[in-house]
Chains A and B, each alone.
Chain A
């Protein structure tokens, strides 16, 4: 049970507020680039240009969760556009993937520009740490893609082949209108289907026309027809290839030519033309489509993302000390996963033990600031020592108009609600004094009782405030007779609180407000008021709870995008001059 572990102070923020800050800060394009690329990669022999757009909007929101004590798991949706100018299938020359990726960021501290900062580092991210939650838009290569590639390739190869007086015309729809005779073949365009014959083959049916001279002054044999052939399909994790020049050995799927015009020599003509056709089809070469399998695509993304992120880290929390010569202590962060709380420990008190996570003291508040019991005890002991320096040296003689006494013992202890018959947390004061009475031997009086710290919120011109006042329990406010006793006890607690507030300025962040004439007023910023130069965070402390573990000041957070409003500049006397 510890509010601040081995540190003096701790700020806790709920995950909802962390998310709010994240979304606002994430809008900073400078710090968090949303558009990455172009990135050039070679994929299956194809030059691929990649553009990445990270999203965070209503339909595709980025998110975060607390993964473990030291890692925040970020979930980023992004669009990845890959341009492949030389894709065999023109429809695959630009593909857009929608991806959601989880990336863990390490909550750690480092020094930046001479200041200790707490931030998120991705330095140790590896591909294994990256999780592809979803991957959409990965093209599934099917027969249509091959057909489109063949149509596309048709435009680049000759369509009329002459060999030994034989003429062969290869049609594909009306793609070549200069062909004579025009395409009247069946099918009218090249068709394809994927078939399995032990292994996968692409079956292609292409329309043709043949003009073959015949001997003996017979008229030329002229006929439309089609060539039917099967070509092996090779699939890898990265591509799918059809080897167009590879005639199968299986006789059942060897290339076949069909000619429409009946003729006694048709069989011989087909036999003679088939080698020419096989050779012609070889002109298509290998048709390779970059085609990442789902697992290959995920692995590739993981590697690319890890490679991109491993050089990045982002400072998040840098408490500012009012005195540059005394920088605020190194902030150390912990994540309380089940509670959904980010804890930031400040001012290490005991380096002999390993830093460890504090308790969840946030409760239902948006933010809470705790002062550890060791720090409170230190300030308590100091306040007692300064006010009663002779206490441990024979007793502190106290002289008042009401009477005199010698204070022999005094202690002030943090106490939980419910103890000492007090519903609220309190400081339990115990002491013993020898009271000096005229004409009467001095009795020894031992006393004990609760001191509460009343916290009252204030609001001046929109500036939230908190007023702290110690109050002795069980004392009627009208019992002015007891004021002499209260004047001994209350200032102890008052100065304890004053010292703690001053310490908060040094170690948590804050400053003396010079415009406030009341010298007891200080400003505390439990979290830095400006995060990453974009999010302005106003933290209002709204109460003070006492327990045996220390003091907790719960509060609220309001977050807005940093801007130079008219009111801001007016307050700074920095309005534009004519």
Chain B
């Protein structure tokens, strides 16, 4: 077996670590996957191993390479990279991420780090020499998670809204507000118009994506940087070996581990 730390698609996080079986001696016959074709050829055996071990199958969502290792399946660095890249993004987003990373590297001469608030601050105010803005009290605009057609159907089900008669004394009841969804970075509305913000008296040492949003129209590179940051945050999370072990041992909570009941692969060809 080989150490594959450097083959990880995200070196900073070292998501793969050692791909030795995390449970010590693997209970499975060793199976080595060194080419795409062998991955396809051994699908049924791979599926069988995960289907027979539901807990192990769920660990595919934590780190598929380490879950493969626990199933006695050794991947070559090339296959590891393929697996991780495939699961991290859809093809379209993977392509867009690659375009943005390349473009920004070319324009600014270094790897863009949109999710590093200190780096973003330096980029905005030292490199681009933008004026700091006072964003306090402002929230980014978000697009709704549901599409317009669905919202229209849902709205149609609600009772007709009637404004209260003018001059009527305020109702002595409770104002109830319902948030049908939670604002998330993945739904930043990049096309929304920004409010006119005052200049800030001080330069913030850190700029998160929520604050970077308000600079999106200040410079073309900022818009690209924001979009890259969003894509990075939307990547499927690949946990480090340490994190994988803690989640597997139940020492660290994880949403997928608790929410996903089972992952089953069809051992028969689907129609």
Q: Identify the A interface with B (CB < 8 A).
A: 322-323, 382-383, 386-387, 389, 400-404, 430, 437-449, 458, 460, 463-476, 479-488, 490-491, 494-495, 497-499, 501-506, 509-514, 516, 518, 520-526, 529-530, 536-541, 555, 568, 571-574
A495 touches B163 (CB 8 A): no
B172 touches A539 (CB 8 A): yes
A490 touches B171 (CB 8 A): no
Minimal Cβ-Cβ distance residue in A for B174: A541
**Residues of chain B contacted by A482 (CB below 8 angstroms):** 255-256
* A–B complex contacts, Cβ < 8 Å, 29 sampled: A386-B150, A386-B153, A387-B154, A430-B261, A439-B36, A443-B264, A443-B265, A446-B264, A447-B260, A448-B259, A471-B182, A474-B253, A475-B255, A481-B236, A494-B178, A494-B180, A495-B154, A502-B159, A504-B176, A510-B173, A513-B175, A518-B177, A521-B177, A522-B178, A523-B174, A529-B172, A537-B172, A539-B172, A568-B169
Give 19 new A-B contacts, CB below 8 A, not counting A401-B234, A497-B180: A323-B159, A323-B162, A401-B92, A441-B43, A444-B264, A446-B261, A447-B261, A465-B177, A468-B179, A474-B253, A481-B234, A483-B185, A486-B182, A498-B178, A512-B163, A513-B164, A520-B179, A526-B173, A574-B167
B179 touches A486 (CB 8 A): no
* In the complex, B196 has a CB within 8 A of chain A: no
Closest 6 CB pairs of A and B: A494-B180, A525-B173, A487-B145, A465-B175, A529-B172, A483-B184
Main secondary structure of the interface of A (DSSP, over half): mixed
Minimal Cβ-Cβ distance residue in A for B170: A571
Minimal Cβ-Cβ distance residue in B for A516: B175
| Contact A445-B263, Cβ < 8 Å, known A323-B162, A474-B255, A520-B177 | yes
Residue in B90, B259, B270 whose beta carbon sits within 8 Å of that of A401 in the complex: B90
Interface string of B171-204 (1 = CB under 8 A from A): 1111111111110111100000000000000000
| Contact A540-B177, Cβ < 8 Å, known A481-B237, A574-B167 | no
Minimal Cβ-Cβ distance residue in B for A487: B145
Residue in B86, B153, B168, B179 whose beta carbon sits within 8 Å of that of A440 in the complex: B86
C-alpha spacing A526/B266, complex, angstroms: 53
| Contact A437-B177, Cβ < 8 Å, known A323-B162, A445-B260, A483-B184 | no
**Residues of chain B contacted by A322 (CB below 8 angstroms):** 162, 164
| Contact A572-B162, Cβ < 8 Å, known A402-B234, A495-B180 | no
Closest chain A CB from B177 CB (angstroms): 4
| Contact A444-B266, Cβ < 8 Å, known A403-B90, A466-B174, A481-B233 | yes
Interface size class for chain B? 35 or more
* In the complex, B89 has a CB within 8 A of chain A: yes
**Residues of chain B contacted by A465 (CB below 8 angstroms):** 174-177
Closest chain B CB from A243 CB (angstroms): 68
* In the complex, B87 has a CB within 8 A of chain A: yes
A468 touches B176 (CB 8 A): yes
